[in-house]
Amino acid sequence: MLLSWSTLWKMYLLCTPRIVLTKASFWDEIADIEEESKHQVSELTVKQLRKIPVDPESTVLEIGPGTGRLTIPLAKAARKVTVVEPSREMISHLMANAKRNQVDNIVFVNKRWEEVVVGKDLEVHDIVIASFSLFMVNIEEALAKMNEAAKRAVYLAVSAE
């Protein structure tokens, strides 16, 4: 029997403890920990930002931004950043970080990526980013929607175990 990559992805999420990562309630519970630990990956943040060509006219869509590790520096460099984040607690931290950094060009969409309708909930952006946030069961559909939402490029970062 031959399985597709997207089928293997779905099995990996649904049949392992990682299924919890698909739930906003999990991220609500660990928002404080995420906020406190983002300085531990500052070198990774710098490396990632170097690879994403953002200019003052760019619009950026970030899926699953958490507390804003990438969002805040992207917002300082771009015209506008839209974030899609299902966790209300993560959004709360991100809003506080934006205020603390005097950033006011972030649009917040409090939904799961799977629920977002491109053209209705948000417009197409120059760049789409999903950094360590690919916890969608139907990954093929999620990636196709990211491509649909991007004028120029989609940047993905995933961890390897």
Looking at the structure of the chain, the number of domains it has is 1
Structure tokens at 104: 């006011």
Dihedral angle, C-alpha 27, 93, 76, 46, nearest 10 °: -50
d(CA 72, CA 67): 9
Q: What is the pTM of this model?
A: 0.93
> Who contacts 108 (Cβ-Cβ below 8 Å, separation ≥6)?
82, 83, 85, 91, 94, 95
pLDDT tens digits for range 78-101: 999 999 999 999 999 999 999 999
CATH (domain of 49): 3.40.50.150
| Owning domain of residue 112 | 5-157
Write the CA distances from 96 to 32, 65, 104, 144, integer angstroms: 12, 14, 11, 32
Q: What are phi and psi of 121, to 5 degrees?
A: -80, -25
> Who contacts 120 (Cβ-Cβ below 8 Å, separation ≥6)?
none
pLDDT tens digits for range 6-59: 998 888 888 888 888 888 999 999 888 888 887 778 899 999 999 999 999 999
pLDDT tens digits for range 99-140: 999 999 999 999 999 999 999 999 999 999 999 999 999 999
Please determine, for residue 160, whether its predicted confidence score (pLDDT) is greater than 80.
no
